[in-house]
Structure 1
Amino acid sequence: MPEATLSVAHDAAVVQGYHARTRHHLNGYAAGPDTLDWDAQPDPFRRFAGTALTPLPLPAHSETLPWTALFAAGGPAPRAATLNHLGLLFELSFALSAWKELGPDRWALRINPSSGNLHPTEVYLIARGLPGLDDGVYHYAPQAHALEQRARFAPRPGPQPTQLLIGFSSIHWREAWKYGERAFRYCQLDMGHAIGALRYAAAVLGWRVRELGLSHADTAAALGLDRAGDFGPAEHEEAEALLELLPGASDAAPADPVDWLPGATWAGQANRLDPRPMYRWPVIDAVAQASRRGVRRPVNALPPLGARQLRPATQATAADLIRGRRSAQRFDRQARLGIDAFWPLLAALMPTPAGDGAVQLPWDTGGTDEAPAVHAVVFAHRVDGLAPGAYLLPRNATAQPALQAALPHLSWRPVPDSPPDVPLLELALNPALAGTLRTLSCHQAIAADAVFVVALLGECGSALAGRPWLYRERLREAGLIGQVLYLEAEAAGLRGTGIGCFFDDPVRELLGLGAPGTEPWQVLYHFSVGRPVTDARIASTPPYPEPRP
């Protein structure tokens, strides 16, 4: 067998072994820390000492574009690529959204959600030809809403077209500090949330976003993450992805930032986030290495951006809704949801509802060659017009036969009166659903008290055997679904909460997916939606002292 084939087989075994090893069980959780010292929590903000700092404008307070305007065919009219609009992009995607205070404790919330509010995702900008900004590589510092210049590119003769790329990395220790070995899963779910946050912010500007298919090594080089001396004893960052912002035509040749690096001058020393870590989880480094993309993927032309037919009735502006997104801590267990408000929430999860080749926001980045591979099992608690029970929303029609073969004992009845854009199927009715889901979601009331909960099923069998990097893509797809539900819940006057803690095999057994290791479908994420109960003890203050023009 060729050496490359053996290597891929080994990596696939590592990935699948990691997922099995990090399942939670009713009689025990995946390996994690025995104790937490909250006073020793890692620094939530990465900074690079010795870099030039460029403050960004904060123009979101003057934005008036309605949330529903994002979903017209083609999206809003594109705005020019300027530093002011770049500031808006970051303000609506990765900036702070508020400071919270309870007694002596004070902590920041961010626009992009994160499991445990730990924020392992770091964000970079690679820019060329933007007026008012030197060509180079920048790290985004959300606490300051500013760019730290990590690299300055060598000058090139003649005028240069504006090219803007957003890069992502993960600091695994931020999650592992609290969650132990399961942290890699959560970092990838957070990546899906981050990609969604970027896509919605770009949509406000009328910009398209295209994911570049670089290898892991090229992504690390472009972001300066392979420069070991710049990190020293600080926690390393795992290169994740590069996406190109397209303020103009979306058919231009994809950027290749590796070509921009020769002659670049680098600066900056990363701060150490946790000087006294108490634990080590080597399995995280192992699965990270095994799931890296070793080769480049061709970048396909972006599909047309289609219109969304079922939209929420909100009158909110896009900026206010995005900046107001929060994770619910408690739900009103008496709340109910009308079915007319329920359908738009599910319609938002369907990438190509019209079947005409157009793709709706935010599924249009071209980040994978595959059809949607993560599907939604909807546990409806209190949706008026829908009996309590389990329902399935296949996110592409070609997956339904495989899902039906995996679940032949369930009813598979189409839900009467469901809209054409929402092909919801009844699996099994269960009037005692709330208590069951509380147990399965690590005994959390946030699952029992929601109006509905979504369990996300991903195909993690034979497809991963030859392409182990798809494991990251499955988790990111689940995270992106979570980001859609977060924002759509806000638009419906509700609130969402991602649930990464669930008992993997009992959830699969509830659905009848078979014994562990015998079935390719794995549960990747839970998400709950309900009416929030606000904790009046917690004070909220603005994220920044004052708007910057």
Structure 2
Amino acid sequence: MSPVPRFHRQTIHTPASVRAGGWPDWSGQPEVFKYYPADFPRLSLAAVPDVRLLLFRCAGLTARRVYGDTVYFLRANPSAGALYPCELYVQARGVAGLADGIYHYEPRGERLCLLHEPESATDGLESCCEDDRRVEGLVLLVSAIYYRSSWKYRDRALRYCLLDSGHLLGGVEAAAICGQEDHEIFCRIDRQRLAAGFGFGGREQAMAMVVLGRRGSERVTSLAMRLPFVSGTGTFVANRFIEGALEEIGRPEHCRPAAGGAGYPFSAGILADAIARRRSIRAFAGVPLLRREFDAVLDTATMAVSMDCDEPVRILAVVNRVEGMEPGVYAGRRCLAAGDFSDMARYLCLEQDLGGDSGATLFLTGAAHNYLPLLLKAGLMGQRIYLTATGLGFGCSGIGAFYDQEAAAFLDTDDMILYALAVGR
């Protein structure tokens, strides 16, 4: 087994660390939308409805909430603390109604901001990918602005930026399924070249690219774009721990590619509706799940991911209330220990009732090799679990905060605990 990375060890939660945590500096609260200056051209996505629908399903705004004087927007993909560190960039080639170029997606207003028009046929984002063949169609870049999360969650925001990016990748996967489009996720990308081209300035990091299009034979060998730095937060406080960790994990090695994709247990129409309706449940009523519902969650979550660097992620479940299943700890469908462990699940999830009142609380685990794609995959699997639950008519809540060491000991695993999700009614 690979050793647990120091940056994972340094971000564990314990009962003592949770109770010692302070409050965020509200005067430094970051903005959650990034905008380029007004002189950058904008295009309303109403002019390209197919692209509008795809991007809405990836990362669009699905609801608006008003609390006092503050307006909050909910999105197609969940985010730890609703802080939304991720940004989405789009390269288009040969897309009807859309000029070839690299764009930034503005979900509020549903617009694309044109950042760069290609200078030649060999200029583009493909040059930052190991497979640099020209793509006719769309190439998406998912990035994370870590301060949006570290403002509240400090060093542990490293995990949340990766998991949130994985959720967005899961949103891209689901959108591709709705549109019957092939897709490929790439983690082995040239992050330094991307940072220089986009002017990220160390405050925003490229996480992954997704190809939604047809590969040609011509190679794309350069990225001529050189953008000025544009803040996506307004305020900013550097976190050298996170910056160093992202630099260290940004070069995956000895990767094993995988081909595949989710097959949801319902139609594309139901999936599209689930994307728009997805929410994080706040409390369970204690009504049991059906066995087939639990099985559907496991089957969908664990299907192969179309990814250039696939790392194994396992699911250990504390089954609390599932008809036809004895309560206990399960590895997949195999019971490891029978008994009512709902109080323990509640405790492990930072003593939140969601962990114990659920039909089942799922712990996603994995070893340390290639930490970035490992966490991205865990987040993507989390998005699959959310959408499966929503489509089948029950609830889900992602739980990124848990007592790491206690959870691993209770589940009797040497793996890292990557993520937890509670599902139920």
TM-score range (shorter-chain normalised) is 0.7 to 0.9
1:306 CA drift (Å): 8.6
Task: Give the whole-Å Cα distance in 1 for the aligned partners of 2:200 and 2:223.
Answer: 19
The correspondence of residues 146-295 of structure 1 with structure 2, limited to 5 A, is 146-154=111-119, 162-212=136-186, 214-217=188-191, 220-222=192-194, 225-227=195-197, 230=199, 236-246=203-213, 252-253=215-216, 259=221, 261-262=223-224, 270-271=230-231, 273-275=233-235, 277=237, 280-293=238-251
* Structure 1 residues 489 and 305, CA gap change in structure 2 (3 angstroms): closer
Provide the aligned length of Structure 1 versus Structure 2. Answer: 412
State yes or no: 1:329 paired with 2:282: yes
1:304-330 deviations in Å (ceiling 9; x for gaps): 66967xx35x89633221100011122
In the other structure, the counterpart of 1:388 is: 327
In the other structure, the counterpart of 1:88 is: 53
Divergent runs of 4+, >6 A: 294-298, 304-308
In the other structure, the counterpart of 1:400 is: none
- Equivalent residues of 1:22, 1:30 under 8 A apart: no
1:161 CA drift (Å): 7.3
1:122 CA drift (Å): 0.8
The correspondence of residues 443-482 of structure 1 with structure 2, limited to 5 A, is 443-460=351-368, 464=369, 470-482=370-382
Corresponding letter in the other structure for 1:286: G
1:324-357 deviations in Å (ceiling 9; x for gaps): 001112222x221121322212221232xxxxxx
RCO higher in 1 or 2 (8 Å CA, sep ≥ 6)? Answer: 1
* Structure 1 residues 275 and 306, CA gap change in structure 2 (3 angstroms): closer
In the other structure, the counterpart of 1:410 is: none
SS state at 2:98 partner: coil
- Equivalent residues of 2:147, 2:236 under 8 A apart: no
Unaligned runs of 5+ in 2: 123-133
1:242-297 deviations in Å (ceiling 9; x for gaps): 11103x6xxx458865x3534x5x566513514264xx432111111111117897
TM-score, normalising length from structure 1?
Answer: 0.69
Corresponding letter in the other structure for 1:456: L
* Structure 1 residues 307 and 480, CA gap change in structure 2 (3 angstroms): closer
Unaligned runs of 5+ in 1: 1-11, 59-82, 352-358, 394-423, 465-469, 514-518, 532-549
Corresponding letter in the other structure for 1:22: T
1:448 CA drift (Å): 1.6
Report the RMSD for the aligned CA atoms in angstroms: 2.9
1:144 CA drift (Å): 1.6
State yes or no: 1:525 paired with 2:419: yes
SS state at 1:289 partner: helix
1:376 CA drift (Å): 0.3
Task: Give the whole-Å Cα distance in 1 for the aligned partners of 2:382 and 2:261.
Answer: 21
* Structure 1 residues 304 and 426, CA gap change in structure 2 (3 angstroms): closer
1:52 corresponds to which of 34, 37, 41: 41
- Equivalent residues of 1:48, 1:268 under 8 A apart: no
- Equivalent residues of 2:187, 2:207 under 8 A apart: no
1:36 CA drift (Å): 2.2
1:350 corresponds to which of 291, 295, 302: 302
State yes or no: 1:377 paired with 2:337: no
- Equivalent residues of 1:115, 1:190 under 8 A apart: yes
Task: Give the whole-Å Cα distance in 2 for the aligned partners of 1:481 and 1:275.
Answer: 32
Task: Give the whole-Å Cα distance in 1 for the aligned partners of 2:404 and 2:253.
Answer: 32
1:43 corresponds to which of 24, 31, 40: 31
For the pair shown, which has the larger CA radius of gyration, 1 or 2?
1
* Structure 1 residues 454 and 448, CA gap change in structure 2 (3 angstroms): same
TM-score, normalising length from structure 2?
Answer: 0.88
SS state at 1:215 partner: coil
2:63 corresponds to which of 98, 117, 129: 98
- Equivalent residues of 2:290, 2:324 under 8 A apart: yes
* Structure 1 residues 181 and 153, CA gap change in structure 2 (3 angstroms): same
* Structure 1 residues 304 and 530, CA gap change in structure 2 (3 angstroms): closer
In the other structure, the counterpart of 1:129 is: 94
State yes or no: 1:426 paired with 2:378: no
1:480 CA drift (Å): 1.2
* Structure 1 residues 131 and 187, CA gap change in structure 2 (3 angstroms): same
SS state at 1:208 partner: coil
SS state at 1:528 partner: strand
State yes or no: 1:508 paired with 2:408: yes
Task: Give the whole-Å Cα distance in 1 for the aligned partners of 2:412 and 2:349.
Answer: 17
1:494 CA drift (Å): 0.8
1:46 CA drift (Å): 0.8
* Structure 1 residues 297 and 125, CA gap change in structure 2 (3 angstroms): farther
1:221 CA drift (Å): 3.0
* Structure 1 residues 127 and 30, CA gap change in structure 2 (3 angstroms): farther
SS state at 1:384 partner: coil
1:53-102 deviations in Å (ceiling 9; x for gaps): 111129xxxxxxxxxxxxxxxxxxxxxxxx32111100111110010123
